[in-house]
Structure 1
Amino acid sequence: MKEQEFLQTIALDRVTLNAWVAEAWLAPNQSSGEPDYNEMDLARARLILELQKDMGVNDPGVGVILHLLDQLHGLRSAMKDLLETGLTERSIS
């Protein structure tokens, strides 16, 4: 989805969105020359809003939480790959 649609969907202003992108909290696809947001970006933006507004987490705290979540997802993916490799090796033996 294009930036304007994203802003309307999440009810966010452009200044805040630009700040989030500058902080690398969101990383839209830029292959077409303009930002293109997907459902994962939308979910992440909703999480950021929830952390800030509902839970009162400050900006540095949001950055830490997002970094930890990214690490967790990376580890989960690595674990899945390891398990699949182990299962494949067992079925070959």
Structure 2
Amino acid sequence: MMRLTKQEFLTSSGLQVHTLELWLEQEWLVPEETSAGPRFSEIDVARVHFIQELKRDLGANDEGIGVILHLVDQLHGMRRALEQLRNDIADLRKPE
């Protein structure tokens, strides 16, 4: 997975520095911390677009966006857990 510097992320996502700082403070975006500074992923860029759609198209306010992001993160976590469970079950069923 490609890791973007803060400047590369700003260019790729179209965010302004002030907006990024605010979203980081609200933990809407949580980049990987490295010794060279924060590194962002393509998932973070997609999350920016999702947040912008929530604001623009659905008229979600900041509190609503926080709740929506939390629920989406929980959903993705449950999907990962379910996939792991499926894999574990498949492994148990394999003849040895």
- Return the TM-score normalized by structure 2: 0.89
The separation in 2 between residues aligned to 1:20 and 1:2, in whole angstroms, is 16
Q: 1:89 is aligned with what amino acid?
A: L
Higher RCO, Cα 8 Å, sep 6+: 2
Encode CA deviations 1:51-73: one digit per residue, 9 max, x unaligned: 11222100011111110111001
Please, which moves more after superposition, 39-48 or 4-13?
4-13
Asked if 1:56 is matched to 2:62, the reply is: no
Q: Stretches of 4+ moved more than 3 A in 1? A: none
Look up the match of 1:38: 41
Query: Aligned-pair RMSD on alpha carbons?
Result: 1.3
Q: Indicate the residue corresponding to 1:2 in structure 2.
A: 5
Q: CA deviation at 1:92?
A: 3.5
Q: Residues 42-88 of structure 1: CA distance to partner in whole angstroms, max 9, x if unpaired?
A: 00111011111222100011111110111001100111111111111
Answering whether residue 83 of structure 2 is matched by residue 80 of structure 1, we say yes
Task: Calculate percent identity across the aligned residue pairs.
Answer: 43
Within 2, Cα distance between the matches of 1:73 and 1:7?
A: 25
What TM-score results when the alignment is normalised by the length of structure 1?
0.91
The unaligned stretches of length 5 or more in structure 2 are none
